[in-house]
Each structure stands twice: as C-alpha cells, then as structure tokens.
Amino acid sequence: MSASISIAGVGIHPFGRFEDKSVVDIGGAAVHLALREAGVGPGGFQAAFCGTVYSGVAAGHRVLSSLGLSGVPIVNVEAGCASGGAALRLGVQAIRSGECDRVLVFGMEKMPKGVIDSSFFEPWQKLAGLNPAPAFFALRARKLMRDSGVTVEHLARVSVKNHRNGVDNPNAMFRKPFSIESVLASPMVCDPLRLYMLCSPNEGAAALVLERSATEGAVTIAAATLRSHLPGRVLGEHTPLSGTVNDDVPSPTELAVREAYDASGIGPEDLDFVELQDTDAGRELLSYEELLLCEKGGAAAWLDGGAPERDGTLPVNVSGGLLSKGEPLGASSLGQVVEAYWQLRGEAGPRQLPGARVGLCHTVGRGANACVVILRR
C-alpha cells in the first residue's frame, strides 16, 4: 500500500460515560478537533466515512449536519469492534483510487450499559446460553490455558499492565493502577475471567483527516487491512459457541496481519509498539500469537519475558488498552490510530515511547471482522 497517504489531523473525545451528551455531540467534538488540527474547513474534504454500531440510522450524516459539513458523500460503516478500522480502510481506498485527495474518517458510540449484547445471533441461540460474551471470552481463555501455558496470574498481569499504562492517559475511563491481588479478588464473571479482566462498554469518539500528499516527517498509513472469518473455527467472533475447534483454519486477525505485513514490507521485527484488542485479558494474550509477535503457544512465555511492558522490547497497549479506556465500538479502532499518531509524532506525553517510528493497531469484533493498521514516520 502506498505510503503517500498521511494523517493531517486527529481528534478524540475522551472515553467514558457522559449522560449530558448525545452521540452527535461526542462525534462532533472529535471531528472538530481533527479538522482544526488539519486546518480544514467546509469543502476541504471530498468524502467522509463513519464507523459506528449503536448510533442509529445515518449517524455520520447527523454529526456532519450538526457542524454544517454535509454535501459530500457520507458512508456509515458497521463492522463490530472493527467499525472504525473498516471506515479507515474505505478512506484509504478512496484516496488510493484517485477519487479523493482528502477524506474525513471518524467513529463514535454511546454503548448500552452492562455486558455487550448483540443482534448477530438468533434469539433462540442466546436463550440456549450461546450468547458470545462473556462465555465466549472465557472459553477462549480456557483454550489459551490449555495450549499456551496461560494461567489466571497471566490474565491478571495483562490487566495490571494495561491499567498501569492507563494512569497516564487523560482520555481513558479508568485511571488507577491495580495490583495482581486486587484483580484476582474482583468478582468472578465467567470462569476464569474476573471483572477487572474485562473491558467496559462506554462512550467516546475519534476522528482522522487523511490526505494524499505526505510532507517530510508526516505519519503515513503503510497498510490498512480488513478480513473476515473463514468457516470451520468455533472459537471465533462469528460463532455462537457450537461446533468443533479447527486450529488449522487461520483466524481473521491472522489473515489481516499477514496481508498488512505483505502490503507494507514491514514485519513484526520492525515494530516499535502495538495497540491491540484487549476486550478481555485473554484476547490480548491470543493477539500476541495471531499478530505473529511470538510463536504459536508462546503467549505466556512472551509476557513472562517482559516484551509487552512499556519498557520491554515491544510495548503493547501503552495507551492502557480497552481495559483502561473502555470500548465505544465505533471509536475503538480509530482511538488506537490516534494514539499511534501521537506516539510517532512524539506527542504522547508521559506515556511517550522514545524513538518510535513504526506502530501497529489491531481490532477484531463481531462478524468476525479483523482490522490491522500499520503506521510509520
């Protein structure tokens, strides 16, 4: 993928709960900040792509209409947790095709409180106990414990790491450190996952302005890939937990990351940091393997070696991840990209990684849809 597509500006509305704001207010705040940083006004972009799941009909239109920015093509995209990444990919394609020189990409959400529900499965499947969360997360964690040497202490340590990182993120919902003891003492949700090992659905927004021309030192999109699942794998975001496990079938994350590495000419050995999906602590550990950051079955050992710590060889989720930030579905992918942009520009404040030049962002959600974005400077 051409490296001439750069990020001209970003904006984010903090992730959390905001009873006095509508989803249009939240989305509009992020869009306003991104356009202001890019120095773009009405007529300054040729298309807009909005990722969201729970915001209703024509959500992107409502946001841009509230700002007086309608008139351009506005496309609303839903791809579960990867909605923002899917919108970003469409924006990249619009520029690569030559149709647009500059586009706006944004995502926002006001999530219902409680465990994430989904209309993806039939009502009878949920009544039969096959609803995906949190039972699906727990089964996946159990399989990791069997195959990769993961223990409940490893799950707790992921939570401790990400909450410690989130202390330095002003846009995170939870900004206090946890001890392993406090994580292991938190209420059991679905064995082996305890409350502090799960992310919280919440509210927030993120926005980017992409443009064709890349000035020297600009942050560019090296790859933006989106892949869906292949049939035959029961423990995936597409299945209601009935069937057989076939580990020979690559996951959508594996498909997306291999495509991204091939398109960019960048491999895991070239990365300086990673922002990846941690809907639950087990998901982060599995992502280490699926993103080829470590060998299959090596997630526990990779964590034990300290690689994903902030001062490790490949820091993971220095933003605090979803465990600290919470997850507004339509904004979570783009929130990762905003964090990567700040890291690559040296603007991440107290969580800044020295000398960061290449970063990878990853989300996977209901569908199953997996998105991988690689950025470099």
**CATH number of the domain encompassing residue 20:** 3.40.47.10
Per-residue model confidence as pLDDT tens digits over 152-194: 999 999 999 999 999 999 999 999 999 999 999 999 999 999 9
Distance CA 255, CA 375 (A): 18
Q: Is the pLDDT of residue 236 over 80?
A: no
Q: Is the pLDDT of residue 2 over 50?
A: no
Q: What percent of the chain has pLDDT over 70?
A: 94
Residue 201's DSSP bridge partners are 327
Note the Cα 282 to chain centre separation in Å.
Answer: 15
Distance CA 49, CA 86 (A): 9
Per-residue model confidence as pLDDT tens digits over 94-153: 999 999 999 999 999 999 887 776 667 777 777 776 666 788 889 899 999 999 999 999
CB burial string 288-322: b at 16+ within 10 A, e below: bbbbbbbeeebbbbbbeeebbbbeeebbbbbbbbb
Q: Report pLDDT for 215.
A: 80
Per-residue model confidence as pLDDT tens digits over 316-340: 999 999 999 999 999 999 999 999 9
Q: Distances from the Cα of 373 to the Cαs of 138, 268, 279, 333, in angstroms?
A: 27, 13, 18, 9
Distance CA 236, CA 240 (A): 9
Q: How many distinct structural domains can be found in the chain?
A: 1
Distance CA 210, CA 372 (A): 17
Q: Which domain holds residue 81?
A: 6-114+199-376
Residue (of 6, 5, 104) closest to 49 by Cα position:
104
Domain assignment present for residue 180? The answer is no
Give the pair of three-digit tokens for residue 299.
Answer: 């997630």
Q: Is the pLDDT of residue 234 over 90?
A: no
Domain assignment present for residue 277? The answer is yes
Per-residue model confidence as pLDDT tens digits over 27-62: 999 999 999 999 999 999 999 999 999 999 999 999
Helical (H) or strand (E) element with 48: strand 47-51
Domain assignment present for residue 263? The answer is yes
Domain assignment present for residue 193? The answer is no
Q: Which residue's structure tokens are 């202001």?
A: 36
Domain assignment present for residue 156? The answer is no
Q: Identify the top-confidence range among 185-199, 221-235, 363-377.
A: 185-199
Q: Report pLDDT for 216.
A: 81
Decide if 83 contacts 333 (C-beta within 8 A): yes
Decide if 171 contacts 11 (C-beta within 8 A): no
Domain assignment present for residue 24? The answer is yes
Q: Which residue's structure tokens are 């706006």?
A: 104
If you average pLDDT over residues 16-20, what whole number do you get? 96
Q: Report pLDDT for 243.
A: 65
- The string of DSSP codes covering 161-182 is HHHHHHTT-TT-S--S---HHH
Per-residue model confidence as pLDDT tens digits over 281-308: 999 999 999 999 999 999 999 999 999 9
List all residues 6 or more positions away from 193 whose beta carbon is below 8 Å from its beta carbon.
134, 137, 138, 141, 155, 280, 281, 282
Domain assignment present for residue 126? The answer is no
Q: Is the pLDDT of residue 3 over 60?
A: no
Domain assignment present for residue 186? The answer is no
How much is the mean pLDDT over the chain? Answer: 93
